[in-house]
Amino acid sequence: MLLIWIYLFSIFHLCTFVDSVVQCEQKNVTVQVPDLLLPSITTTESLATWFYWKQGTQLNTNTIVHLTIHGYTYDHTYWAFPYQSPKYSYVDYVIENSNGSIVVVNIDRIGIGLSSKPDAIDVTVDSNANVISQLTTYIHNGAYKDIQFTNIILVSHSLGTLIAWTVASQTSYNQYIRGIIATGWLHVPNPVGTAAVVASIYPAQLDPVTSQQSVPPLYVTTNPANNTRQNIFYNINDADPNVIQLDEQTKHTGTVGELATLGLAILPTVTLSIPSNIPVLVVMGQYDIIFCAPLALSCDTSLIIKLRESSSYLSTIDTFVLLNSGHDINLHLNAQYWYEKALNWTLQHF
């Protein structure tokens, strides 16, 4: 058994697209996905991961790991967007500016891209969290570079943030979690924005892009009619039209299982179960129409976000607003400003 384990983890590819400073290895790890109705029954699936570090640095168990979790209908490229690289790359920013003190593990969530695609009803918020928890155990046990990393921070966007909350809130999942950088999700959504998101969802098989990704039934994506992704994910006054176009061409899927389970995962009881020794940074785009609207649902300042969210956490949270940005804070013109905040916050706390 041990030999098989070592064999599995010795297989990796060097990524082809990296520059000389940012090094990367692609590796698939084996995870168990529980059956929705009979959780004791699991299927064995593959999770695609990318490990990034700064060339020439000495990694050790205290080196901080940012484990990045993308949102609904995206893949790992949300964290390293393939346009005017490295301008829209959180990964590159953090590696290049942290002097070797931070590495990044990026993933395609279960059901997405190069990861395997279980039945749609089994891909829920909870099974996503279960898989992330298994990955943190691998990271802690030396799956990358044989180093047993102890400082794992979840860095999440949108549905990824809901998954990160679930991981951090459950004692069976959060053993190796030391912090959360939670972007693109709050406890109270804007009904107008969420209605627009729901209205845009249609079967992935009907879509010119995702029908090429051989996804099972009940996988869905956003309908390109009426410029959906532009309208729900961007503030066009702060975005490059080429980015929005490439976003449409590189979009991915979500499942009905995820949609059906997010209503319970958003409750404050979830975040109120996050242990107070796990610090949280909340980051939002000022004009994220899924969660923000003038007056009552304003996202204009970090103080307003703090007032909106504080009662949902045991500990004091830190908050940050990326001015002018829409929902996809990584893909707006001023994205680097929030990357800097994430770096500052990490180095202050760890």
Ligand X SMILES: *[C@@H]1O[C@H](CO)[C@@H](O)[C@H](O)[C@H]1NC(C)=O
Q: Interface with ligand X by CB under 6 A: which residues?
A: 11-13, 26-28, 48, 99-100, 114, 199-200, 223, 225-226, 337, 340-341, 344
CB of 294 to ligand X, least distance (A): 23
Cis peptide before 279 (omega within 30 of 0): no
Q: Which is nearer to ligand X, 13 or 145 (CB)?
A: 13
**What does the alpha-carbon distance between residue 328 and residue 143 come to, in Å, rounded to a whole number?**
31
Q: Which is nearer to ligand X, 125 or 341 (CB)?
A: 341
Nearest Cα to Cα of residue 78 among 286, 256, 327 = 327
Q: Which is nearer to ligand X, 83 or 337 (CB)?
A: 337
Q: Which is nearer to ligand X, 29 or 278 (CB)?
A: 29
**What does the alpha-carbon distance between residue 136 and residue 74 come to, in Å, rounded to a whole number?**
21
**What does the alpha-carbon distance between residue 203 and residue 271 come to, in Å, rounded to a whole number?**
31
Q: Find where tokens 């279980």 sit.
A: 118
Residue 246 has a CB neighbour count (10 Å cut-off) of 17
Q: Which is nearer to ligand X, 225 or 295 (CB)?
A: 225
CB of 321 to ligand X, least distance (A): 11
CB of 159 to ligand X, least distance (A): 20
CB of 269 to ligand X, least distance (A): 31
Q: Which residues, at least 6 apart from 214, have a Cβ–Cβ distance to it below 8 Å? A: 117
Q: Which residues, at least 6 apart from 210, have a Cβ–Cβ distance to it below 8 Å? A: 204, 219, 221, 251, 252, 253
CB of 11 to ligand X, least distance (A): 5
